[in-house]
Each structure stands twice: as C-alpha cells, then as structure tokens.
Amino acid sequence: MQAPNRRHFLASAATALQPPEPRKKQMIGIQVGAVSFVDEGVEPVLDVFQRRASVNTLFVATFTYGRGIAGRQVTGQPLPDHGKQEYDTGFRGGAFHNVNLNYYKDTILKDVRSRDYGDFDVLKAVIPQARKRGMAVICWFEDVWRNDVPHIDRLQEKDLYGRNAGALCFNNPDHRAWLLAMTENLIRDYDVDGIMWGSERQGAFSNALGASHGGAGRDPGRVTCFCDFCRKKAAERGISADRAIDGFRALERFVRAGRAGQRPVDGYFVELWRLMLRYPELLAWEMLWTDSLRETYAAMYAKAKSIRASAGVGWHIWHNNSFNPIYRAEQDLAEISKYSDFLKIVIYHNCGGERLASYVDSVSKTLYADLPREEAYAFHQRVLGYAEPDLAAIPKAGLSADYVERETRRARAGLGAAKTLLWPGIDIDIPTGLQNSRSTPEGTRAAVAAALSSGADGVLLSRKYSEMRLANLSGAGDAVRELPR
C-alpha cells in the first residue's frame, strides 16, 4: 500500500479540512441524512447550518439500514422543532445515492439502493449547493444491515454455535469487495471531499463479558465470528479454532452464572483470569477480530487513494472507547493513523452519562462483579482518566465539558506526531431515557468549546440533524463564534 498522500488531500480539500493554524478555520461538521433535505429542502437546511452553527462541512449519510444516522426522529422521542412533525415508522434504509453496479461485480451484494425517497440522490442534490457556499462534503456510511437484504445470509458472521448473526464478517471476501465497491462508487462518481465509515462493534471477548453500554442484554453465546473464513485466518496464525470455541463456551457459562449471582469459589476476577490462562485463544481470537477491522480500514483507504489521492478518508470510533478499557486498548490511535486522514472520536457528553452507567451496570455482573457498582465506577474513572459525578447522578446529569476536554487531549496525545486530523464527535439531542439528561444550548456550547480549545482540529455535531433542536444547534455555533481568531 502506498504511503498516505496527506499533502495532496489537505491541499485540495476545502479550507474546512485544514488543520488549525492562525487565521484558518477549524472543521465544523454536522451529520445529516437525506430525509432532512427531502422534508425541508436543501438550501433551507444549509442556511440553518451556516447561520446557527457556522457549519462548513457536511457529513451526509449515504448508506445505512439503521436509524442512528438516517431517517427522522425515532419513535417515542420528542420531535424536534423543524422538519415534518411525524415519525417515519416505515423507514427501511440502504444507499441514498446512485448505486453504480459496474463497481459491484465482485460481490453478491447489489440490491442496496434505498427507495424511502423514490429516486432522490442525496449527493446529486446537495453537492452543487454546498459548493456554492464553500462547504465541504464527506460521505458518511456505517456498518448496519437488515436481515432481509438479498444474499445477506452468505456474508453474516457466525456465532459460537454456527448460527448467523446480524453483522457482516470482515474476512468474508464478498463483504470486503462490497466495501471497496462502495468506496469506489462514492469517490469516482461524486465530487466529494472524502468518506467516513463507522463500525460500532467489538470482538467476541468483550462482547461475551457485556463490556459495552447496553451490554447486559447481550447473549454470551451469540458472540462472533467463527465462520470458515475466520477459522482459516486463525489457522494461518497458528490459533486453534476448536480450542477458541471451547474457551468461549466456558466464558459463556461464567457470564451466565455471574448474571445469576453465582459467585465462583475464588471470585469473579480470579476465575476470569483462570479461563484466560487456560484458554489463551480467548484473547488471540479477540485480536484476530480487531486486526481484521484494521485491515478493512487499510483496504478502504488504499482503494480511495488509488482513485483520487486528494480524497480524505477517516473513521468513526465508537463511544465504547470512553468506557471499556479493553476496547480502548484495541483503539491504538498511532497504529490506526497510518491509514487515516482524520478520526471522529465519539465524545458524546450528554448521552454519555446514561451510557456509562449502563456499561458499569453490565460489567458489574461479570468481570468486575467482586466490586460494588460504585467501586467499579471509581476504578474506571481512575483507569480512563476522568472525574465525573457519582454513578447514581450521571444518567440524569450527563457527562461534563471536562470529560470532553480530557478525552480530546488524550486522543491528541495518542495520535502523537501523526498528521491525522482529530474531530471529536459532540452529541446534540441523541435520544436518552425520557427522565434522563437532555441536551441544552449551554451544555452544547460548553462541550464544543472544550473540544476546540483542547487540541481538536474541528468538531462533528452528531448524530443526525433530524433529531436536533435548533436552540441546541445554536449553542454549538455560539462556541465556534466565541473562539479567538
């Protein structure tokens, strides 16, 4: 793979994509889906972005089958004060741009064009208007699929018992070919400044332990991937797939017993180490999965650069990076920077309190079950390097601007001398429990200011405009306008 040509990328991309230097703008981005342009019109939406938040870069959702970055507000949450005042319960998803089948000859995944908005091509509609305003456009797509996509079963991961999972395997050649085809489709057919892809997943070890927000609901027997492609890759590394499966089934029993309150004789932490020592394949399989994700990043990066060296390529790094020390260890930013022009590190402060509490609740029944929940929380704060209110308070209070500052500084330090641009993701009105913390203009302003004053090259307002309230968007703009020039 050729060395990243960041000089060409930075020279040709919009001013918004340049690293912060005196009198140069920082990147102020916003994630937005096709539905907002369909409901409100392209120019009115861009007017709002520029007037309220000084946005200079659009991260347009181009592919997903999920509701996180596309569609209107999710059912049950309050509708925002713009757009159609109704829920789109029939949303399906897919690609919101033209799918040029000439690029997809090496994959059986072809029929992914969304029909939610007829033949509306979000890039064709938005790019000309963005260019008139000097705004950069980055295609933002994610690793979220539906089980009824034609042929999807042939690309899905396999769990411990050979059952198909919902996610696709990075070692499956058809999946890899599809990702490269989508990359080529976007870079070659559209005048965009780059692409950003996100995969909010982790390996079997952390998933078995429920080490993520919402992890308490994970089935430790449904961890992945143990398909033939992964088994073959493991064999090439000298890893026994059979022993790995035996280890993960033992881990499954450990987790189920822990959640049932059945304490091992020597305690949870000791018993987990006993399993890891007996089955070193547990961690070897975790690293195999992580390396497969990194190889996917590198392949997509190389494909994009082979088409247009100036195209920026970067990744969305999941919020679990703020909670799970194992997942954070896997996010070696210095390593990832080798095939990244930019990184969106998720530092969602408002919904972060609810999510962190959920994570602690889950792991307090598995690997940290020897500790009271409050002590497990204190341990994570010390290990991960932040100081927030007590555990009972954070779902309603959210996390602070201090958390944003600390995580931004840590990410900047983690990148070291790399030229990779750091764009923290700041949340605005991401759904939380109706009794829990809600975004406010002042809270948003403080979080954006904390990121921009702590070494970030910009910020990315997340997760989608169609659920943001306008006053909170203005709060982000206030922080940008208050920055010293």
- State yes or no: pLDDT of 5 exceeds 70: no
| Structure confidence at residue 24 (pLDDT) | 57
Q: CB within 8 A of 231, min separation 6: which ones?
A: 241
| Structure confidence at residue 2 (pLDDT) | 42
Q: What are phi and psi of 158, to 5 degrees?
A: -115, 140
Per-residue confidence at 485, pLDDT binned at 50, 70, 90? Answer: low
- Residue 244 domain-assigned? no
More confident residue, 389 or 71: 71
In total, the chain counts a number of residues equal to: 485
Q: What is the mean pLDDT of the chain?
A: 95
C-alpha to C-alpha distance for 178 and 148, rounded to whole angstroms: 17
- Residue 153 domain-assigned? yes
C-alpha to C-alpha distance for 328 and 259, rounded to whole angstroms: 24
Per-residue confidence at 178, pLDDT binned at 50, 70, 90? Answer: very high
- State yes or no: pLDDT of 306 exceeds 60: yes
Per-residue confidence at 390, pLDDT binned at 50, 70, 90? Answer: very high
Range of the structural domain that residue 93 is part of: 6-17+24-202+293-482
Quickly count: other Cβ atoms within 10 Å of residue 91's Cβ.
18
Q: Which residue has the tokens 């088409």?
A: 307
pLDDT, tens only, 7-39: 444 444 444 454 444 435 799 999 999 999 999
| Structure confidence at residue 25 (pLDDT) | 78
Give the predicted TM-score (pTM) of the model. 0.94
pLDDT, tens only, 215-227: 999 999 999 999 9
Concatenating the DSSP letter of every residue in 165-231 gives EEEEPTT-HHHHHHHHHHHHHHHHHS--SEEEEE-----HHHHHTT-STTGGG--TTS-B--SHHHH
Give the three-state DSSP class for 483.
coil
Give the three-state DSSP class for 43.
helix
- Residue 234 domain-assigned? no
Per-residue confidence at 484, pLDDT binned at 50, 70, 90? Answer: confident
% of the chain with per-residue pLDDT over 70: 95
Q: CB within 8 A of 312, min separation 6: which ones?
A: 9, 13, 17, 138, 193, 194, 195, 341, 342
- Please give the structure tokens belonging to residue 483: 């920055």
**CATH number of the structural domain spanning residue 336:** 3.20.20.80
pLDDT, tens only, 70-111: 999 999 999 999 999 999 999 999 999 999 999 999 999 998
- Residue 159 domain-assigned? yes
What would the mean pLDDT of 427-451 be, rounded to a whole number?
Answer: 98
Give the three-state DSSP class for 6.
helix
| Structure confidence at residue 9 (pLDDT) | 45
- Residue 48 domain-assigned? yes
Distance, first Cα to last Cα, the chain: 39
Quickly count: other Cβ atoms within 10 Å of residue 455's Cβ.
17
pLDDT, tens only, 189-233: 999 999 999 999 999 999 999 999 999 999 999 999 999 999 999
- Residue 225 domain-assigned? no
- Residue 364 domain-assigned? yes
| Structure confidence at residue 365 (pLDDT) | 96
- Residue 241 domain-assigned? no
What would the mean pLDDT of 148-173 be, rounded to a whole number?
Answer: 98
Per the structure, the count of domains in the chain is: 1
Cα–Cα separations (whole angstroms), residue 396 to 357, 432, 448: 10, 9, 20
Give the three-state DSSP class for 461.
strand
